[in-house]
Each structure stands twice: as C-alpha cells, then as structure tokens.
Structure 1
Amino acid sequence: MTDGNTGATRRRLAQELAVVAGFDDPRAPLEQYHTPPELAAHIVHVADLQGDVEGRTVLDLGCGTGMLALGAALRGPDRVVGLDVDPAPLSTATENERRVGATADVSWVRGDATRVPLCPAGEVTVLMNPPFGAQSGNEGADRAFLETAAEVASVSYSVHNAGSESFVEAFAADNGGEVTHAFAAEFDLPRQFDHHTEETRTIDAEVFRIEWV
C-alpha cells in the first residue's frame, strides 16, 4: 500500500467516524472528552496495518461514546467490546453504532476499566484514550488503565499526555511489555467544564503501541 493510499484510507475512516456523537453531559472527574475522529482514525489505521484488528477481539477501555471501538468495528474484527463505568455515554454509543453502520459484533458493557469484569478469549487488542490523571484526586489514572491492558491484551494502543514516553516505556518494561511504536498527536478540546478558561485548548498527546507477553 502506498503512502498516498494509506493516507486516503485513514481520511476515509475519519469521515466515517465524524457522525459519532460526543458526551451529552460530560463529567469532569472522569475526564470525559470526545476523542476526535481524526485521532481515532489514525490509531485504528495503524492498528489495522499492524494486523491488530482484523479477526481479533478489540477492547476499548473507558470507551465513552464509542469512538475508538466503532473505528475498530469498521476494520473487520472478530468482535468489539466497549467498556465504560458511566452508563450515560454507553447509551450514546449504542446510537452511534447505528449511525456508523458497523456490521461487526459490538457489545457495550458497563464496568470499571481498572477492574475489568471481562476475560476475553483469543488474541485481544486494547484501544484506549484513558484519563490523563489531570484532575485532583485522579492522578495516575492512566497507569491503572495500562495495568488492565497488561492483564488482558497481547497488544495495546493508548493515548497519554505529552512527555509520557519514559513513564510508559518503564511501565511496559516492568510488566512484561515493550513499546514498539510511538507517535505524537494533538487535538482541540472545547470549553466544557467550569475550570476551563479558554473556548478551545489544543492538547499535545502521545500514542503508544505496546506488545505484552
């Protein structure tokens, strides 16, 4: 596949995900932000190129309204499971599934991603945009999500705050994993919580692919 075709395929996936609705009433303690379709498409496209989607179980930890899960659902997985502790976005995720028109086997499960109530069989790929731990009392939230990925996945893709490379690499090494790919990302966050002082803020982030033993 040429770079041009690769880019076109990724852009097409982003266009398909543009219909995915975000949170009706986002909760600040859970750091509920809508994953931009362009970022989701990039992550899913890389995962697809690495053979981490087709024919596998894809688990979206902290799925929110389903952006990453539905992106994977459009790329031929065996099944997709979206897990979130908040029932409200799961209802929206169900509606988004109809909007996207995914034909894959998709399930939405209410549960704590840090105490995952699932034990998927076979090869499992985790896709996640976990809380960065930016809220007071929620520090280290992304570590707990990585701990779950290490337990259930053979490979994971996760979004973290910029500057997290040393932490993610060290965590992976200590838990039987290895970072194989990393790339920078950024996305615009609209003003949606009282503590926000700007109408839109651009967040610098990093995405990591980890292979787990």
Structure 2
Amino acid sequence: MSTKRQLAQQLGVVVGFDDPQAALEQYRTPPAVASHLIHLADLNDDLDGRTVVDLGCGTGMLALGGALRGATRVIGVDIDPGPLETARENRRRVGTKTAVSWLRADATQVPLCPDEPVTAVMNPPFGAQTGNEHADRAFLGTAADIADVSYSIHNEGSVDFVEAFAEDNDGTVTAAYQSSFDLPRQFEFHDADSRTIDIELFRIEWA
C-alpha cells in the first residue's frame, strides 16, 4: 500500500477544470486533501472489495484515488460532460488498472441501485453561491440512498448540520477531521490570487 504522501504524488498528475462553472462550484480538489480522505477510507477497510462512487466527481480526483487504493470498481458521477472527458484523460495519466466508469448524471438523483457494498466519496458544492445554500445536503441524501458508508468534504462549521442530517436519515457520523486547502483565483468575483479554506471531512455509516 502506498503511503498518504505517495498517493498525493500519484494524484498530482490529475488536472483540473478547463472551464470551471461558478454555479457548480467547480474547484479541483487538492491532491493532499484527496489523499487524506482516501487514506482514511483505506484505513477503515472501506475500499477493498467495494464499489466506490464519487458523487460530483469533476475531473476525477477522488474517484482515481479510490482506484489507486484498491477499490473493486469505481464510478464517477457528474452532470457536466466537459470534466468527465478530462476525467477519462486523467485516468490514463494516473495509469490505474481498476475498472472505472464515468457516468453523466445529476449526483443528487443518481440512477444507480448497486447490490454490492458501496463507499461514496464526495467534495460537494458547499452552497457558497446565492440561491445554492446547503447544496451539499442533496449529495448526502444520495449517499444515504446508495451507500453503506460515505466520506465527504464540507465547509468549516458543518458538524451540527452533518450530524443532524445523518441522524434524520438513519446515519451515524463515526469520525470528523479538520483540514484546509488553498482556493486559487479562477472566477472574476475572486479578489485575491488565493485564499485558504478551512474544511471538515466526515465519515458516515448509513443503515
């Protein structure tokens, strides 16, 4: 098994969005954050022998992390076809031999009903855009429907919301971790070259 640092280096070749959409909050998940999330899933035996579904996969960072760390198969789901094409190219860059499928669909209404154990991973929209508040709620709802366990990234201060949502949907937050990443300037409304975002990662078991 590669170390968390080695996994981050492997994921370093994964490129981001050619034409990011502000409304979809499309940002490349940093390799260090992705490797941390996937490493935690691996330590909890939530990858081996399982299907990993990346909800809102973008260009495939988390999906490919799961593929590199031993998932039986991986499904990346995204509503935007452009990033999915980039994800296919990223798979070739990473070089994983794990079976990976890319599905164009709304991650909040995924047309999947898998029989095998599923681990959902996601870096959903935080709901930072006006009119899109709590966008991550619908992504968690999908995880509750299709997954046995999920790993998700949320804005700082989301503990109460995530725990309450899990409780209301027959889920249990079993672990929470704090982290951060640098958000690059990529939209016109950004007023700095980059800024650091504090985030929280959650592991949730779903009944």
TM-score (normalised: structure 1)? 0.96
Whole-Å separation in 2 of the counterparts to 1:40 and 1:129: 9
The reply on whether 1:144 has 2:138 as its aligned counterpart is yes
Whole-Å separation in 2 of the counterparts to 1:103 and 1:119: 24
Aligned length: 207
The reply on whether 1:13 has 2:7 as its aligned counterpart is yes
Unaligned runs of 5+ in 2: none
SS at match of 2:27: coil
Partner of 1:188: 182
- For 1:114, the aligned partner's letter is T
Partner of 1:161: 155
Which among 107, 111, 136 is matched to residue 105 of structure 2?
Answer: 111
The reply on whether 1:90 has 2:84 as its aligned counterpart is yes
TM-score (normalised: structure 2)? 0.98
- For 1:132, the aligned partner's letter is F
Q: Identity across aligned pairs (percent)?
A: 66
Whole-Å separation in 2 of the counterparts to 1:83 and 1:115: 10
Q: Runs ≥4 in structure 1, deviation > 2 angstroms?
A: none
Q: Deviations over 1:100-120 (max 9, x none)?
A: 001100000000001111112
Q: Deviations over 1:30-63 (max 9, x none)?
A: 0000000000000000000100001100000000
RMSD: 0.9
Partner of 2:171: 177
SS at match of 2:102: strand
Which among 69, 78, 82 is matched to residue 75 of structure 1?
Answer: 69
